[in-house]
């Protein structure tokens, strides 16, 4: 008979939210099992993270690693909706309100594998 494993938390889905929660629980000393299905990373979309995500990235200990990863920094998004007219939507009025443009698969892998910040 196989030995049973016990975890404090089991997280279904290794996207940005699941990976961040798993990492945070792990840093708090909980045992975590993250269940995810492999995705087609070659088809992964680029996504935009607003500046407000920096607080969460710092809390889970990966902000410096995200900065080192070299993701493009951006002050907002350019969108084309049904009308076809281009519209620029800034993240905020401050000049330093920079978010990130990330390739989602690389960002998710990083959330699971970035080194932990020293305590």
Query: How many Å apart are CA 6 and CA 31, to the nearest integer?
Result: 8
Distance linking the first and last C-alpha atoms of the chain: 40
What pLDDT is stored for residue 94 in this prediction?
Answer: 73
What pLDDT is stored for residue 27 in this prediction?
Answer: 86
What pLDDT is stored for residue 40 in this prediction?
Answer: 61
What pLDDT is stored for residue 7 in this prediction?
Answer: 93
Average pLDDT, the chain: 82
Closest to 26 measured CA to CA, from 4, 53, 8, 6: 8
| Positions of the chain with pLDDT lower than 70, given as ranges | 1-2, 39-46, 95-96, 115-119
Residue 75 CB neighbours (<10 A)? 15
What pLDDT is stored for residue 65 in this prediction?
Answer: 85
Residue 110's H or E segment, with its range, is helix 104-113
Backbone angles phi, psi at 47, to 5 degrees: -130, 165
CB 46 within 8 A of CB 100: no
Query: How many Å apart are CA 22 and CA 102, to the nearest integer?
Result: 20
What pLDDT is stored for residue 93 in this prediction?
Answer: 77
Query: How many Å apart are CA 31 and CA 8, to the nearest integer?
Result: 5
Task: Pull the structure tokens for residue 63.
Answer: 């902000």
What pLDDT is stored for residue 95 in this prediction?
Answer: 65
This prediction has a pTM of: 0.70
């Amino acid at each position: 008979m196989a030995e049973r494993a016990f975890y404090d938390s089991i997280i279904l889905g290794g996207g940005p939210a699941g990976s961040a929660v798993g990492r945070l629980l792990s840093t708090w000393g909980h045992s975590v099992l993250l269940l995810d299905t492999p995705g087609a990373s070659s088809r992964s979309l680029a996504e935009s993270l607003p500046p407000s995500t920096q607080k969460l990235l710092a809390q889970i200990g990966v902000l410096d690693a995200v900065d080192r990863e070299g993701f493009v920094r951006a002050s907002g998004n350019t969108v084309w909706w049904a009308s076809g007219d281009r519209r620029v939507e800034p993240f905020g009025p401050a000049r330093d309100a920079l978010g990130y443009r990330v390739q989602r698969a690389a960002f998710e892998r990083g959330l699971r594998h970035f080194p932990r910040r020293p305590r």
